[in-house]
Amino acid sequence: MRTNLFIKVLVDHDAKEKPEKLGAELCRQLEKNYVVRDAELSSYAPVEE
């Protein structure tokens, strides 16, 4: 059985860091450390404070 899980993650980061790179690293860690077949960053949205 397969299930798609949609998870929202709010990340604090420096302005120099690219959201795409952070998302790629999160996906890599999920695939490496958990029973995750595939992880991908589908979109991101900046949060105005």
Q: What is the mean pLDDT of residues 11-38?
A: 92
Q: Which domain holds residue 15?
A: 1-49
Give the count of domains, the chain.
Answer: 1
Q: Whole-prediction pTM value? A: 0.77
Question: pLDDT grade, residue 44 (50/70/90)?
Answer: confident
**Distance from C-alpha of 17 to C-alpha of 39, rounded to nearest angstrom:** 20
pLDDT at 28: 92
pLDDT at 12: 93
pLDDT at 22: 93
Whether residue 40 contacts residue 27, with contact meaning beta carbons closer than 8 Å, is answered with: yes
